[in-house]
Amino acid sequence: MKSAEITEQGQHTLSEIVSQPQCWSTCLTKLAASAELRAAVQLARPGAEWIFVGCGTSYYLAQAVASTFNYLKLPARAVTAADLLMYPGLTLHAGRDYIPVVTSRSGRTSEVVRVARKLEKDHNLRTIAITCADGQPLEASCSVTLKLLGADEQSTVMTRSFTSMLLGLQYLGATVSGDDAFRRALIDLPQQVEPLLNDVPRRLRLFAESRSFPDFVFLAQGPLFGIASECMLKVTESSCSYAQVFHSLEFRHGPKSIAGPETLITFLMSETSYDAELELLEEMKALGAATMVIANRVDSRAQRASDFAIELGLQSPEYARPAAFALWGQLYGVYYGLKKGLNPDSPKNLTRVVELADGG
């Protein structure tokens, strides 16, 4: 356990967040040796489009995974389960081939289970599920199920399940595409991230406790947008705070009107768009906004323009890094919730599973 600040409230969520590198290693090792992974790879077909489906955190997972699959030259996109149920014609078109992948930590999320059944029965599409539970309705509804049982959580919000399923699906994509270097990069990621947990959580907690903000904004481009969306959700869930997410360079086009001392803007800066995002960071600092930066490399200009910076220093390629960016939004949400006297293990109005009545 790397974090010494675990208290009675939030202890499950904090311990699950800091357990992630070890959890990733265990999950990837088991997945790589599984018959289920081999069965999922056999469903891949040249020219087919991968459709990643989820709700809430699992939808942001779908966004991040679709980005990786496109990078690996496997056409892909993300869609919410509700959109696929209510507007299937916007996603599925006659004469085209699809490989659906549906995501649910519990395997019981109502909309996701319904999507799987609909795809299998009404559209005759063999569907892949990924979950952190065994023997649940989603597994019974799909042709193949990838199970990362060690990534499940006691807490309400998804943390290590999100990153573990992200890495598991990235590993599937690397296997399908035959990119062995990318697979190795995913396997190496946990040992690169582990040392960051020695010091960053302590510094991040001190920063969270030192200042109060009524508004939070998360910005990212490309492979990190799904991660920024998930960080936004974690701050909302764990601290009952108002948070928004935008594509970084879209922030100039109207949203920057909220920039100021009462808004903490967090930049998840990618390698490809670093220079353009750095200019935006400096603009927002000039407007008086509080800023936090998470990047693989943080140069002197970014340091000067940020109130708090996290440099990851990973050797992995850009598209293998997204899971490593997620931890810090998760941690900040918990620390800010504790600062407000809340219990991030059991956020207001939330349950671990969204299960609807049969007609819902």
Which CATH number is 327's domain given? 3.40.50.10490
Look at residue 358 and tell me if it is in a domain: no
On whether both 121 and 75 belong to a single domain, the answer is: yes
On whether both 156 and 229 belong to a single domain, the answer is: no
Write down the pLDDT at residue 358. 66
- pLDDT tens figures, 83-100: 999 999 999 999 999 999
Look at residue 349 and tell me if it is in a domain: no
On whether both 251 and 148 belong to a single domain, the answer is: no
Count how many Cα atoms sit within 13 Å of the Cα of residue 310 in the half-sphere of its side chain. Answer: 30
DSSP alpha helix (H) spans, the chain: 11-18, 20-32, 35-42, 57-71, 81-86, 110-121, 137-141, 160-177, 180-193, 200-210, 225-239, 274-286, 300-304, 322-339
On whether both 178 and 48 belong to a single domain, the answer is: yes
Look at residue 348 and tell me if it is in a domain: no
Write down the pLDDT at residue 155. 87
Task: Quickly state the pLDDT bin for 360 (edges 50, 70, 90).
Answer: very low
Task: Quickly state the pLDDT bin for 165 (edges 50, 70, 90).
Answer: very high
Mark which of 141, 164, 190 sits at the end of a domain.
190
pLDDT at 6 over 50: no
Look at residue 356 and tell me if it is in a domain: no
- pLDDT tens figures, 283-326: 999 999 999 999 999 999 999 999 999 999 999 999 999 999 99
- 116-136 burial, b for 16+ CB within 10 Å, e for fewer? bbbbbeeeebbbbbbbbbeeb
Segment 48-65 shows an average pLDDT of 97
Mark which of 137, 163, 190 sits at the end of a domain.
190
107: phi > 0 → left, psi -120 to 50 → alpha, else beta; which?
A: left
On whether both 179 and 223 belong to a single domain, the answer is: no
318: containing domain: 199-339
On whether both 26 and 110 belong to a single domain, the answer is: yes
Looking at the structure of the chain, the number of domains it has is 2
* Sign (positive or negative) of CA dihedral 47, 122, 107, 227: positive
What's this model's pTM, rounded to 2 decimal places? 0.94
Integer angstrom CA distances of residue 71 from 23, 130, 140, 356: 25, 21, 31, 36
What values do phi and psi take at 216, rounded to 5?
-130, 140
pLDDT at 2 over 60: no
Write down the pLDDT at residue 266. 98
Q: How high does pLDDT run on average in the chain?
A: 94
* CA atoms of 197 and 327, how far apart (whole Å): 10
Identify the residue whose tokens are 């509080």.
290
* CA atoms of 216 and 336, how far apart (whole Å): 11
Write down the pLDDT at residue 346. 82
Look at residue 322 and tell me if it is in a domain: yes
Look at residue 353 and tell me if it is in a domain: no
Task: Quickly state the pLDDT bin for 3 (edges 50, 70, 90).
Answer: very low
On whether both 41 and 162 belong to a single domain, the answer is: yes
Task: Quickly state the pLDDT bin for 349 (edges 50, 70, 90).
Answer: confident
- The residue among 66 and 157 whose pLDDT is bigger is 66
* CA atoms of 194 and 22, how far apart (whole Å): 8
Segment 218-240 shows an average pLDDT of 97
Task: Tokens for 325, please give them.
Answer: 């960016």
- pLDDT tens figures, 33-52: 999 999 999 999 999 999 99
Look at residue 347 and tell me if it is in a domain: no
Which strand (E) or helix (H) includes residue 292? strand 290-295
On whether both 158 and 81 belong to a single domain, the answer is: yes
311 with 328: CB under 8 angstroms?
no
On whether both 30 and 55 belong to a single domain, the answer is: yes
What values do phi and psi take at 252, rounded to 5?
-65, -25
On whether both 166 and 206 belong to a single domain, the answer is: no
Mark which of 190, 225, 250 sits at the end of a domain.
190
* CA atoms of 219 and 44, how far apart (whole Å): 33
On whether both 299 and 229 belong to a single domain, the answer is: yes
- The residue among 32 and 156 whose pLDDT is bigger is 32
On whether both 224 and 164 belong to a single domain, the answer is: no
CB atoms within 10 A of CB 61: 29
* Sign (positive or negative) of CA dihedral 19, 225, 38, 152: positive
Q: One-letter amino acid identity for 301?
A: R
